[in-house]
Amino acid sequence: MTGMQISDSINTAAVPAQVVAASKINWGVPIDAYLMDAARVGDRYAAEAFLDRSGRVSDGMTVATPPVITLMHKDRFKLVRSESHKDHYVIVTEQT
């Protein structure tokens, strides 16, 4: 997948509306997954993943990211990148 957004092919019945909204934003990089209810643990997140680009993670499955840094905020969403520069995630909702 390229930097194109995938929102046109989303099954909106299975994906939360906030994820659909975040997927419509042009982030400028391919997004590996959109994360809901993300809980920060040090420099990583544990969260429910949606629209996993690899196809290995089912929507709603709990994942742990590698160490990440924040790149930018758009609207109410946050783009993070792995320290290895290989993965990009959008934090859709975050636990406080």
Confidence of residue 1 (pLDDT cuts 50, 70, 90): very low
Phi-psi label, residue 6: left if phi above 0, alpha if psi -120 to 50, beta otherwise: alpha
* pLDDT score, position 96: 86
Confidence of residue 13 (pLDDT cuts 50, 70, 90): low
Nearby residues of 91 by Cβ (< 8 Å), 6 or more positions away:
35, 38, 45, 47, 77, 78, 79, 80
* pLDDT score, position 14: 85
DSSP 20: H
What pTM was computed for the model?
Answer: 0.87
* pLDDT score, position 24: 97
